[in-house]
Chain A
């Protein structure tokens, strides 16, 4: 897709988050690997720029959901990633992922999260919302709404992981969950 400025989209999303969350000190940003992690960093930076009281160093982490997935035995063995979070008890946790499609990743993330502690509020921020619904899960903050049918695949590329920022829509080889 052309003419998409991911950073600008993130910046808008950061503003929405701040508008919805009066206590910036309560915010914890958790990226879901792989691309949720750099997105979480960018989002945290953007939050900090807009609200200097928000200290990303103490409020950012990553939440690996591999061991909580419901499709492990349908895929070749996946590498288990790292989970590293600040304290989340009583906090406003904002889960960050690149693409929201079926909601299965988010379901797994919620399970993983609740094994780590008891946040006061959990929000979901995604770069792209495909608006496919398989579970009763919706994003609270969406940078780019991109309704796409099942037979298409949406891939996000980021400078940190892929060398450049891009969003690619292609025919799906097989159904993906996200």
Chain B
């Protein structure tokens, strides 16, 4: 692996390697001394064009636990006309000698461009890779957020396959992903990763929040959450739904927030339909009372808090696998 840009590019072997490595990383994070010397002397830049304190802190913690030097570069004001362009920022980072760039952007494809545009070499020729700098996609627009999907998969494997399930995928598990699939990089990342790991994915959303073209994705599509839950999924992942997509204007995707909650919210009654071993995931931040009720979020079946902790381990694994080897 040279970069981590999209789960669609991950082979099953690579994906399982990341999960297995994350398991070892997680073990080190239960110790009193959590810091490892592994990436001493390496520089990781967190390049965030979009506010996301949670993801940035998770990556920052992961890099620091591996003893990398961390530079946080927050470049808000994301439109090309305002602020510094991605290209100029890339040139700056290269001048600073970054070994890895963790990039978050509102623009789909930003991480891919950083990896493949040649900007990091100062070349304007598209298609020339920079030999040294690893790019980690920390969320690009509505495209991908691969470490989120990996931490979701890690969490599912721990709970549903076994705490020590090294070398194993998620074969045969039934996973329902519910909510605003259209605008969700989490959904896109999960669909391809879960498919690669052998899980059986159903996307559940109102038709307006499923993208045209999703019928070709490696997942089943459903408009009916109750029917999907009746099929006893092993894991239910609730996606965050933006309030501004509901009600109000002609550009709204749904009549109202209340109708969404009634049809697609995970409330107490729907939680009871889940099999006993079934788990509830959410990438956060949650809209309690909208896509997920407090009972569901706080239930013993919820692994939402654990997802956050697993995020550090998975990001440590990704940084280790991208940076620790020979250049």
Contact = CB atoms under 8 A, between A and B. Distances in A.
In the complex they form, whether A and B have CB atoms below 8 Å apart is answered with yes
Interface of A: 64, 67-68, 72-83, 111, 115-116
Interface string B309-326: 000000000001100111
B235 interface: no
Contacts of A111: 37
Q: Which of A75, A80, A116 has the most CB of B within 10 A?
A: A80
Nearest to B67: A67
16 contacts: A64-B24, A68-B36, A68-B37, A73-B326, A74-B326, A75-B325, A76-B326, A77-B321, A77-B325, A78-B325, A80-B21, A80-B320, A82-B24, A83-B24, A83-B27, A116-B33
Contacts of B325: 72-73, 75-78
Contacts of B20: 79-80
- Size class of the B contact interface (CB-based, 8 Å): 20 to 34
Given A67-B36, A79-B17, A115-B31, A72 B324 contact: yes
Given A77-B321, A115-B35, 5 more contacts: A67-B28, A73-B327, A77-B324, A80-B25, A83-B24
Contacts of B36: 67-68, 115
Contact of A82 (B27, B31, B321, B326): B27
B72 interface: no
Nearest to A111: B37
Contact of B24 (A72, A73, A80): A80
A69 to B, nearest CB: 8
Q: Describe B's contact surface by its main secondary structure.
A: loop
B242 interface: no
B38 interface: yes
A77 B14 CA distance: 12
B37 A67 contact: yes
B14 to A, nearest CB: 11
Q: Which of A64, A75, A115 has the most CB of B within 10 A?
A: A115
Contacts, number: 51
Interface of B: 17, 20-21, 24-25, 27-28, 31, 33, 35-38, 66, 320-321, 324-327
A83 B33 CA distance: 14
A82 B166 CA distance: 10
Contacts of A115: 31, 33, 35-36
Contacts of A72: 38, 324-325
Nearest to B317: A80
Contacts of B66: 67
B31 to A, nearest CB: 6
Contacts of B25: 80
Q: Which of A67, A68, A78 has the most CB of B within 10 A?
A: A67
B326 A116 contact: no
Nearest to B27: A83
A68 B27 contact: no
Given A79-B17, A80-B21, A68 B326 contact: no
A86 B36 CA distance: 20
Instruction: Return the 8 tightest CB-CB contacts between A and B, nearest first.
Output: A77-B325, A67-B38, A80-B24, A115-B33, A72-B324, A67-B36, A80-B21, A76-B325
A13 to B, nearest CB: 29
A173 to B, nearest CB: 16
Given A64-B24, A82-B27, A73 B324 contact: yes
B325 to A, nearest CB: 3
A138 B208 CA distance: 70
A116 B324 contact: no
A93 to B, nearest CB: 16
A73 B38 CA distance: 10
Contacts of B320: 67, 77, 80
Contacts of B327: 73
A84 B28 CA distance: 10
Contacts of B326: 73-77
Given A67-B38, A111-B37, A78 B27 contact: no
A77 B325 CA distance: 4
Contacts of A74: 326
